[in-house]
Amino acid sequence: MDWLYSVFGKILEFFSDKLMGGNYLLGLLLFAVLVKIIMLPFGIKQQKTSIRQAQIRPKEEAIRKKYKGRTDQVTMQKMQQELQEMQQAEGYNPMGGCLPMLLQMVIIILLWQAIMNPLQYVVGMKKDTVENLRSYITAEAAPQEGADEEKAYGMGEKDARYRYIQVMKVLTDKDEEFFVSAEGINTGFEIYLEKSNVSASDIEAIKADIRSAYQYFDEGHLSFDLFGIDNFLLETPNINFASWTWPLNFLLVLIPLLNFVVAFGTALVTRKMTYQPMQANQPGQGCMKYTTLLMMPLVSLLFAFWAPSAIGIYWIFNSVLGLVQQVILYKVMPLPTFTEEDYKAAERELAGKAPKEKEKQSNSGTYSNLNASHSRYLEDFDDDDSTGNVAKEINISEGESDAEDNKNDNSKD
């Protein structure tokens, strides 16, 4: 999958460096716009699916009304089967809107990898170089006194969640004396590589790779700064108030909160602009509706607290652009609206099936066919007793006819 992550990384690098003069934040915005353009055909298809689903609402409501008040399992199964048959007959596929959501999640996952390891996937540094840098930065630091010269000491960074991001921070930190030697790496890192049994040829390749990356950042090809704060886009929110630095941590915490607000607002507006399927009246259903509305905003809130600020800001971009797209599609392709007469017409159409079946069976002239027809009718409409009366009349008529025949036979004898 590395090649796929590299594709996303190079797109980010092109947007940030070539089009936005090294501004990584604007590069993320352009990438979000590109994703929405690519996903637009799926968004149009999803809106068409929503319209098709809305068009069958009168029939759906007529079917649900037919079974209203009955909550036993058998009745619910019959209702669901009838709903599915109606949807198939109308050419509606309930799963038609799932593909865009799945594709969006795949893009988020791929982008996550590119942002989490920008040295490899955006800058183009070799994987072995990044791994050795990460290992050195997170390895135990040498004590003040009595250091064991035979041990490979590192820089002692302990935040294991974002080790690759920390590598980027070290390489781009203006105050970090990491490139103090003429070869382009500090003496401690070179000793660490030697004691880690890295070959001399590999050490030279690592040196060249680091010199190239250092020059890349020194020339301003890529900047992760924001609000005048160095490497802001590589930082992660911190809720440990005792270790806060102003205004860095305050701004970082705002990003997850903005994620929640924007995601929840987007969910509310989208719900009003897309068809919402009818649901059977069940206890706790209202609570379930609001739980669904809150689920994704809460996920984005937690995710943004756990991820670098670049990921959180991209998610905000994505939510806002998604809302804009939904509003435009809703204006261009509005959902149909229905009157009370439309719903009554659907009920009459559903109820009109029964007379057709009666008429068809009466033309056949056989009792067995008529009885079978009425059995199906009773299965569909349990509250109609008319067929039972018809069956009784048929039995009585047959009984009277048999008695009359026997009487005639006896008189002849």
The answer to whether residue 44 sits within a structural domain is yes
Q: Is residue 365 part of a domain?
A: yes
What's the total number of domains in the chain?
Answer: 2
Among 213, 241, 269, the domain-final residue is: 241
| Pair (356, 236) in one structural domain | no
Query: What are residue 248's phi and psi, to 5 degrees?
Result: -55, -60
Q: Is residue 292 domain-resident?
A: no
Q: Is pTM beyond 0.75 here?
A: no
The residue among 224, 241, 258 that closes a domain is: 241
Per residue in 257-306, pLDDT (tens digit) is 999 999 999 988 888 887 766 554 444 444 556 676 788 888 889 888 88
Residue 251 lies in a domain: no
Range of the domain at 42: 2-51+103-241
On whether residue 305 sits in a domain, the answer given is no
Token pair belonging to 258: 């903005």
**Are the C-beta atoms of 118 and 10 separated by less than 8 Å?**
no
- 371 confidence band (pLDDT: 50, 70, 90): very low
- For the stretch 158-190, pLDDT in tens is 665 556 777 887 777 655 556 555 556 677 888
112 found inside a domain: yes
CB 216, CB 16: distance < 8 Å: no
Instruction: Determine, yes or no, domain membership for 94.
Output: no
pLDDT at 381: 37
Q: Which of 160, 45, 26 is nearest to 96 (CA)?
A: 45
Torsion angles phi and psi, residue 154, rounded to 5: -115, -150
Residue 158 lies in a domain: yes
Residues in Cβ contact with 170 at an 8 Å cutoff, skipping those fewer than 6 apart: 133, 137, 155, 176, 178
Burial label, 233 (beta-carbon count in 10 A; 0-12, 13-18, 19+): buried
> Quick one: 108 and 228 in the same domain?
yes
Residue whose structure tokens are 């669901």:
80
End residue of a domain, out of 179, 213, 241: 241
Give the whole-number percent of the chain exceeding pLDDT 90: 16
CA proximity to 46, closest of 102, 105, 97: 97
Q: What is the model's pLDDT at position 20? A: 94
% of the chain residues with pLDDT over 70: 73
